[in-house]
Amino acid sequence: MIPTSFGRDGETLYVHGSAVSRTLKHLSGGVPLCLTVTLLDGLVLARSGFHSSMNYRSVVVLGTAELVTGDEKLHALEVISEHILRGRWAEIRGPSRKELNATTVLRLPVTEASAKVRTGPPMDDEEDYAMSVWAGVLPLALKAGTPIPDDRLPETVPVPKYVKRLGRA
């Protein structure tokens, strides 16, 4: 399992990484893969360890990835960039030939996928409800903080709207 950025364009998922990545080299050879994305929403604390759990949203996509080249590679990198932060691609410098050569992009058609969601409180055994043990959900959230400018950024460069939209600027 390798954490990686991804982007979706219709029924296609794009993933990218280093051109020297053994994992991506292996996957570009046409072997089946399983791509998973999980968002943890909370810890479900029950009165027993057995019934403790997590609230989450998860998706699994199964398939065979294909190596992306040519114009589609640049398009895929834009899709990934826009998935991370919509509006950023229009402002940044595009990849150089050297950077494109150092990057592998794979296309994974979304033809077989499964989603699973767990929400709600703990579900203890009936007799455990009489216990004097705290039970409930500890919500977890990923949230953007205050943007931290690069040390070499001139003070005259404002924080972009797409960063302000997510951050506390």
99 — phi, psi (to 5°)?
-65, -40
Q: What is the pLDDT along the chain (169 residues), one digit of tens a residue?
A: 778 899 999 999 999 999 999 999 999 999 999 999 999 999 999 999 999 999 999 999 999 999 999 999 999 999 999 999 999 999 999 999 999 999 999 999 999 999 999 999 999 999 999 999 999 999 999 989 999 999 999 999 999 999 998 876 5
Which candidate, 160, 156, 135, 136, places its Cα nearest to that of 147?
Answer: 160
**Residue 69 falls inside a structural domain:** yes
**Residue 43 falls inside a structural domain:** yes
**Residue 155 falls inside a structural domain:** no
Which candidate, 83, 96, 95, places its Cα nearest to that of 162?
Answer: 83
Q: Domain containing 22 — which CATH number?
A: 2.30.110.10
Which candidate, 18, 10, 6, 5, places its Cα nearest to that of 110?
Answer: 10
71 — phi, psi (to 5°)?
-60, -30
**Residue 113 falls inside a structural domain:** yes
Q: How many domains does the chain have?
A: 1
**Residue 83 falls inside a structural domain:** yes
**Residue 116 falls inside a structural domain:** yes
Instruction: Look up the pTM and report it.
Output: 0.88
Full residue range of the structural domain in which residue 25 is found: 6-143
